[in-house]
Amino acid sequence: MVNPVVKEKTKISTIGKRINKLGYTLIELLVVIVLIGVILYVAVPKVRDDLLNDSLGVATRHLTGIVKDIRHDAVRDHVDHILQIDLTNNAFWVYKADMTPEKKEEKKRDAYHLPSDIRFIDVEQGREKTMAEGEAWVAFFKQGYVQPTVIHIGKEDRIITIALHPFIQVVKPFEKNIRYRDIFPPMAGQ
């Protein structure tokens, strides 16, 4: 006597052979693996190119990495550090506050220049202080805090906002234009 549960799972194919539907056939598994391979073959290069060849993303990651390093260096060296931003020439460099003028000039000559299609839009340091040309500087203090600043960099119609919070160690870029007043709301009585 055939078990009714087994009989229900077993069916007869169109050619008359019994087919057990408890698993997948080797051909079904191979078809799925080939389809996944084709999808990965098409998708991975596009994702890789978007991540590695996006000059705005590369510049943003570089700047945020430098900002993190400056804060740590200021605390470690117990010396204030300055991030100098040249808005006109789209460059930035870092120096210690106690450096000689000659050393500062040397750091300026070795400045990191943004890729040619990327530019600094402006630097905001307070509700009334926005610089769109010339040089701006951001102080990183040896006590571990930073001057509250919002840096905007852009490429064509894309804008990245980098907010430097005084006491928050994390530097998170935003893929939109956010103003200083929106990140640092006024205190009561201001």
What pLDDT was estimated at residue 156?
A: 86
What pLDDT was estimated at residue 16?
A: 55
In this prediction the pTM is 0.71
Whether the per-residue pLDDT at 149 is higher than 90: the answer is yes
Superfamily of domain 55-183: minor pseudopilin epsh domain (3.55.40.10)
- Annotate the chain with DSSP letters as a single string: ---HHHHHHEEE-TTS-EEETTS--HHHHHHHHHHHHHHHHHHHHHHHHHHHS-HHHHHHHHHHHHHHHHHHHHHHHTS-EEEEEETTTTEEEEEETT--HHHHHHHHHTPEEPPTT-EEEEEE-SSS-EESSSEEEEEE-TTS-B--EEEEEEETTEEEEEEE-SS-----EESS---HHHHSPPPTT-
Mean pLDDT (the chain) is 85
Whether the per-residue pLDDT at 14 is higher than 70: the answer is no
